Amino acid sequence: MAKTKNTVITVPIGRPLVAVLDVCFAAGQTPLLAGGTGVGKSTQLEDYARSQDWEYRQMDLSLMEPPDLVGMPKLDGKVTRYLPPVVLPTVDDGAGLLALEEINRAPEYMRAPCLQLLTARCLNDYRLPTTWKLVAAINPAEDGYAADELDPALESRFVRINVVASPDEWAEWAREHKVDRRVIEYVLSDPGVFDAPTSNPRAWTAVAKLLKEGEKLGTPSGLLQAVTAGCVGVERAASFLRFIKDRVKPLNADQILRGYKKVRSALTAWVTEGKLDLVQGSVLKVKQRLQSRTEYTAAREYTAAWKNLGRLLADLPGDLREDMEEFFREHDYDVPAPVGGTK
């Protein structure tokens, strides 16, 4: 399901994006997938092409010069013709999906031929077969990547789809591709696992491979943590290795709203021990539950649940408490009063 995030509608990579691609191609429109690095754009497109029994080809425009796309000129009598690059499909190649990658990282002079390909489906003497679909993928310039804003004339040729990684959708993909179950369990244990740019689906897929080979080779745990940190960062690496050792998961919304007194000691211990990933994961579970105004209203009217939210706020470190209070204000909810001690 598409979600709204700061006025931007996002589509999770996985089954929701497949449905969006279906409708775009059925309508004869070209989708532009805009999302952070490592979230799975290229993998999704390749899997989609395979599911349609199409060939899949991609062109990284940031690495190309104009002749790499429009072809090399040759004389044919008194006229000049162009020999198209081998990556461009011909009528003999059947059906397929051609992905244009990194358009907003490519030099300006590379974008004009892209516009011609998108509008007329041709480049000089070359014509894209009717059996081939076009798609593009970019990292958004507004997210701090070394990329440019697309020219309005070029972007208007696309249906822009802002995509995000979803732990649940990635887990489905990971199970199908035999990714280490411990990595899948960890990703599913923390709703915010993909919030940081370095902690993305591609990085966690790499962690699974490193874990498998490291265990085969008998790599010491300290060194295994070092290579894991090289993929997802120091804090995430420590959290993951602790998780697979202890199988400790964040608290869920029901534990906090209905029985926080029973689990309060666990959360306060995590705060004391600096295991803030578990604390943050617990807070995220509550936020997800209360996104629904119906769920918020039920908690607001249930005295015990409302007091438990107050107890939670009292136990959170300053920055997480402020973040939680801001969540209530952003949704135009009442903010629970922090409840300390054993009240």
Say what the pLDDT of residue 142 is.
62
Q: Is 217 left (phi over 0), alpha (psi -120 to 50) or beta?
A: alpha
Say what the pLDDT of residue 3 is.
57
Helix H or strand E encompassing 321: helix 318-330
Residue 253: CB atoms within 10 A of its CB come to 18
Q: Domain limits of the chain?
A: 3-164, 168-246, 253-330
Mean pLDDT by runs of 10 across the 343 residues of the chain is 63 96 95 92 95 94 80 83 85 93 80 82 88 90 62 84 94 94 90 89 95 89 90 90 81 92 92 86 89 92 94 92 93 89 51
The whole-model pTM stands at: 0.72
Give CA torsion, residues 163, 166, 172, 174, to 10 deg: 90
Say what the pLDDT of residue 138 is.
87
Cα–Cα dist 341/343, whole Å? 6
Say what the pLDDT of residue 341 is.
54
28-59 burial code (b ≥16 CB/10 A, e <16): eebbbbbbbebbbbbbbbbbbbeebebbbbbb
CATH topology of domain 3-164: Rossmann fold (3.40.50)
Residue 256, CA atoms < 13 Å, CB-side half-sphere: 26
Say what the pLDDT of residue 32 is.
92
Residue 20 tokens read as 């969006």
Residue 316 CB contacts under 8 Å (≥ 6 apart), including other chains? 271, 279, 283, 324
Residue 287: CB atoms within 10 A of its CB come to 17
Output the CA torsion sign for 69, 85, 38, 121: positive
> What does residue 340 show for φ and ψ, rounded to 5 degrees?
-90, 180
Which of 283, 282, 277, 264 is CA-nearest to residue 327?
283
